[in-house]
Amino acid sequence: MNIAVCIKEVPDTESRPKIHDNGKEINRENIKWIVNPYDEIAVEEALQLTEKQGGEVTIISLGPKEVETTIRAALAMGAHKAIRIDSSKIPDDPLVTAKALTKVLESRNFDLIFFGKQAIDNDHAQVPQMVAEAIGLPCATVVVKLEIDGQNARAEREIEGGKEILKFNLPAVVSAQKGLNEPRYRSLKGIMMAKKIMIEELSVDLAQPKYTVQKFNYPPQKQPGRIIGDGTTAVPELVRLLREEAKVI
């Protein structure tokens, strides 16, 4: 099988991002960048399929030269090839990203195109569907179980209150949800091999964004807690504050 996995570089959840001086993006300095966790699940599923059925996995990402470190982290899991679509920054508008990915994906003969269900930095959860619609392929999102039999696919996806079963033919687009698998650890051998893989660089004309970030703000600081008494004698005052100040009862 010839499988593409589209990944995004995101800040580590343990990082404490700071807003850039321009107020419209985070400062990239002093941040650990990682493969989006949902995308790691997609990479793992692609690897498992090629290990069972043969084929190769190509990692595709959009962004500046710096994202190659993250691409190599995905390659270290066992992927075979990689493509970086050159861009001065990762677009804020998911449609711009989708159109750029579509130009590359349409030119290649992929049996499956994997994504994570969403990126943990902006949570748009729109790019897989946009790419599938642009190319004209079946699309299964938030998939927690996937079975491939030749050109036939069966996906189990999460919906509110239950699960939904989809049957479709390949080629197709699939976005991975937590529970589909458990991503493997990167071995030292995999890390060393990833360093030797040439990352293909492509340039495409990016569409004009229709969605832009106007301003970033830090969340409001939490008010410090108060001790209003000790034991049962504090209950009446606690109830009064919950009712009159917090207005939660």
Q: How far apart are CA 147 and CA 156, in angstroms?
A: 9
Six-digit token string for 200 = 């293909």
In the chain, what are the domain boundaries?
Answer: 2-202
User: How far, in Å, CA of 101 to CA of 176, rounded?
Assistant: 17
CA distance 130 to 128: 5
The string of DSSP codes covering 31-61 is --EEE-HHHHHHHHHHHHHHHHH--EEEEEE
Q: For strand 81-86 and strand 199-202, is the pairing parallel, antiparallel, or unpaired? A: parallel
Answering whether pTM is above 0.75, one says yes
We find that the CATH architecture of domain 2-202 is 3-Layer(aba) Sandwich (3.40)
Per-residue pLDDT of the chain (249 residues; tens, 9 = 90+): 999 999 999 999 888 888 888 888 888 888 889 999 999 999 999 999 999 999 999 999 999 999 999 999 999 999 999 999 999 888 889 999 999 999 999 988 899 999 999 999 888 899 999 999 999 999 999 999 999 999 999 999 988 888 899 999 999 999 999 999 999 999 999 999 999 999 999 999 998 988 888 888 888 888 788 888 888 888 988 898 889 888 888
